[in-house]
């Protein structure tokens, strides 16, 4: 009997130790490992930075930012950098030089080592844009403009395929109804990781979408997740474009109670018509998309 009790006690001890080991494995409740460290998984965070875009992408090898939020939202971006413990940004991509996309670049430059900067090459006269270019030059950061056909390697099997603008579009300057419009030449690109795809659109408008559709087939545009163009504005997300992109999920980056009324009601209704699940930073906070290249998941993060 004593021998049997000893065996049972030993078995209990072993099972307890094993349970403790399992609890710390990646992907389980006891894990503190970030998504990109789990077998090379991809993590995309559409950050809650008010009325603007700031998107953090992490792969097994690199940390990337697409846009940086607005000038008056620096504290939110600084808090995000601290929370995510980001010291190095391998690639900084600015879709177009409006304040709510470029405005936080100074925060990134101040707090992180930036290894490369990309934008669409379309200039503007604002002071924050001039300061942005001066900082790139002063810090000797490699800089390149992106045009249709370019492909960036994000590491870990993740690529970013540029769909717009063309070099000719940038040369001519974005125009809407004959007037200059920086949104038109926003960088549009598709992130690809195995079977997972996500379409990034900056503030692309109807003219941009039509231009992309004229040069690319539906198979080159189709994506599981869409970053809503222009914060869910009625200037974008045409039915034709949504039909080609065919997203299952759309992430809208906008500020609570913003002056523009984003996202517009008619666009939300259009997303509903196309059976697209909507996530909004103004209501749910940061939107987190993770993928292992086969499946993906979306969650909110306050």
Q: Is residue 190 part of a domain?
A: yes
Task: Give yes or no for a contact between 39 and 292, defined as CB atoms under 8 angstroms apart.
Answer: yes
Q: For residue 193, give the H/E element and its range.
A: strand 188-193
Q: Is residue 213 part of a domain?
A: yes
Say if residue 186's pLDDT is above 70.
yes
> pLDDT (tens digit, 9 = 90+) per residue, 64-80?
999 999 999 999 999 99
If one counts every other C-beta atom within 10 angstroms of the C-beta of residue 19, the result is 9
**pLDDT confidence tier of residue 29, bands split at 50, 70 and 90:** very low
> pLDDT (tens digit, 9 = 90+) per residue, 258-271?
999 999 999 999 99
Q: Is residue 132 part of a domain?
A: yes
Q: Is residue 16 part of a domain?
A: no
Its domain, for residue 82, covers 32-301
b/e 127-140 (16+ beta carbons within 10 angstroms → b): eebeebeebbeeee
pLDDT recorded at residue 40: 62
**pLDDT confidence tier of residue 293, bands split at 50, 70 and 90:** very high
pLDDT recorded at residue 302: 83
User: Of 295, 203, 185, 213, whose CA–CA distance to 249 is shortest?
Assistant: 295
The values of phi and psi at residue 109, to 5°, are: -60, -40
Question: Which CATH number fits the domain that encloses residue 297?
Answer: 3.60.15.10
Cα 64 from Cα 56, distance rounded (Å): 6
The total number of structural domains that make up the chain: 1
DSSP 36-99: GGSTT-EEEEE---SSS-EEEEE-SS-EEEEEE--GGGHHHHHHHHHHHT--EESEEEESS--H
pLDDT recorded at residue 178: 87
pLDDT recorded at residue 132: 98
pLDDT recorded at residue 118: 98
- Secondary structure (3-state) at 120: coil
Q: Is residue 20 part of a domain?
A: no
Q: Is residue 10 part of a domain?
A: no
Express as a percent the part of the chain with pLDDT over 90: 85
Cα 117 from Cα 91, distance rounded (Å): 6
**pLDDT confidence tier of residue 26, bands split at 50, 70 and 90:** very low
User: Of 210, 267, 258, whose CA–CA distance to 233 is shortest?
Assistant: 267
Q: Is residue 119 part of a domain?
A: yes
């Amino acid at each position: 009997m004593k021998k049997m009790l000893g065996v049972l006690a030993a078995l209990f001890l072993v099972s307890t130790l094993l349970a403790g080991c399992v609890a710390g494995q990646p992907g389980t409740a006891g894990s503190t490992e970030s998504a990109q460290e789990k077998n090379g998984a991809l993590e995309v965070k559409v950050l809650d930075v008010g009325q603007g875009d700031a998107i953090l992408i992490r792969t097994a090898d690199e940390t990337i930012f697409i846009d940086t939020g607005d000038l008056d939202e620096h504290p939110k971006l600084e808090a995000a950098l601290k929370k995510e413990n980001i010291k190095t940004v391998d690639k900084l991509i600015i879709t177009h030089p409006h304040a709510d996309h470029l405005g936080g670049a100074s925060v990134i430059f101040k707090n992180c080592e930036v290894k490369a900067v990309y934008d669409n090459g379309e200039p503007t006269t604002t002071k924050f844009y001039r300061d942005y270019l001066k900082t790139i030059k002063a810090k000797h950061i490699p800089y390149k403009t992106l045009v249709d056909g370019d492909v960036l390697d994000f590491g870990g099997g993740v690529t970013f395929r540029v769909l717009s603008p063309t070099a000719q579009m940038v040369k001519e300057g974005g125009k809407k109804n004959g007037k200059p419009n920086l949104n038109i030449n926003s960088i549009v690109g598709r992130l690809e990781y195995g079977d997972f795809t996500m379409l990034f659109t900056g503030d692309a408008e109807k003219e941009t979408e039509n231009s992309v559709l004229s040069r690319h087939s539906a198979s080159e545009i189709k994506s599981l997740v869409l970053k809503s163009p222009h914060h869910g504005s009625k200037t974008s997300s045409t039915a034709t474009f949504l039909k080609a992109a065919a997203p299952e999920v759309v992430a809208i980056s906008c500020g609570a109670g913003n002056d523009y009324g984003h996202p517009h009601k008619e666009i939300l209704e259009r997303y509903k018509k196309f059976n697209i699940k909507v996530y909004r930073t103004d209501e749910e906070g940061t939107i987190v998309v993770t993928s292992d290249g086969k499946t993906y998941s979306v969650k909110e993060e306050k």
